[in-house]
Amino acid sequence: MVRVEVPEASLPLARHELFHCGDPEYVREVCGRVLCPHTLEVLGQAGRLDARMHSVRLRDMSVNYVGYGCDVRIRYAPQDTFFAVLIPLTGRAEIRCGPDRVLVGAGQASVLSPTDPVTMRWTADCTQLVLRMERASLEARLSDLLGVPLRRPLRFAPSMDIGSGYGRSWRRAVDLLVTELDRPGTLIEQPVVADRFEWTLMSALLVAHANNYSSMLTGDVAVAPSRAVSIALEWMESHPQWRHTTASLAREADVTERSLQLGFRKHLNMRPMEYLREIRLRRVHDQLRAAQSDAVTVTAVAAEWGFLHTGRFAATYQRRFGEKPSETLRRS
């Protein structure tokens, strides 16, 4: 097999290199600290390790680029603490997760559950994105979506189609995250943004990929009653500056997220976060009308209410009020 050399700077997460190394013990030790303890076996008499790992840790998830440069076999015992999603970029791998056997390659990823032993064989040209998601956080997210405690551990189907449908959409979200992590000075460096992206990616995986709770996630959900919607509205109207989410509002209203979303759609024809944006836009408008034009700036007032993207805010404001925010301020 002819190996094609790829410039290091063009590799995913190139800014976050942990190692580029041929020492099996060092590779195993560092990978073990980042992902989990495991055995690493170099296959073939002519096998020469040329391993690299790039890694970024978020709050409840790490994103890793891994390649070994030769055929290897990896084994690890049940870990109980995390789920792993392996997305092949080049080459292929055979993965045994408990009783299941999965071949990953173009368009096919693998989702490994925490309670199974795993054995993997990677080809020399195999490189993968490996996402480690903390089990406690992913199962807590699932419980929030369902609105009830989990009665059994979460378990995914081991093989995931990322070439079509929801799987492809989820893969695109991962690619966006990797792209943002690759560049300095992006919003993903802000913890509040990174946390929300992580939260969204976990939620999307639960919906996009088959698991033992899929029927509950996609089944019929009762529409939240008007009283629950009113409770959520009162929280937003009384405290529009708080960092509300659909999940936090649903907890206050004692309904599930999906139920509250359906209730807002039925009674208000919008999503909860759309309504919150409308409240904040009104507060900006009122504040600009009452302000002295030489005492404040549009950017400062907008930022106070959570509108950090100046151009997008100005366009939204003009659509809503028929004038630019700077015009409102000048008329004050």
From first to last of its 332 residues, the chain has per-residue pLDDT tens of 434 455 566 899 999 999 999 999 999 999 999 999 999 999 987 678 999 999 999 999 999 999 999 999 999 999 889 999 999 999 999 999 989 999 999 899 999 999 899 999 999 999 999 999 999 999 999 988 887 788 889 999 999 999 999 999 999 999 999 999 999 999 999 998 999 999 999 999 999 999 988 878 877 677 889 999 999 999 999 999 998 999 899 989 988 888 899 999 999 999 999 999 999 999 999 999 998 877 889 999 999 998 988 889 999 999 999 999 999 998 76
pTM over 0.85: no
**Predicted pLDDT of residue 258:** 83
Class of domain 275-330 (CATH, top level) = mainly alpha
Listed residue (159, 128, 140) closest to 251, CA to CA: 140
The CATH superfamily assigned to 8-149+160-208 is: Jelly Rolls (2.60.120.10)
Q: Pull the structure tokens for residue 99.
A: 């009783």
Say yes or no: do domains 8-149+160-208 and 220-269 share a fold: no
| pLDDT computed for residue 4 by the predictor | 43
Give pLDDT, residue 43.
Answer: 92
315 residue type, one letter: A
pLDDT for 276-291, tens place per residue?
999 999 999 999 999 8
Local structure of 304: helix, strand or coil: helix
Task: Provide the 3-class DSSP secondary structure of residue 308.
Answer: coil
pLDDT digits (tens, 9 = 90+) for 50-90: 999 999 999 999 999 999 999 999 999 998 899 999 999 99
Element spanning 52, H or E: strand 51-57
Handedness of CA 78, 209, 172, 125 (dihedral sign): positive
Sequence ranges of the domains in the chain: 8-149+160-208, 220-269, 275-330
Give the closest residue to 325 by CA, choosing from 293, 295, 294. Answer: 293
DSSP letter at 245? Answer: -
CATH code of domain 220-269: 1.10.10
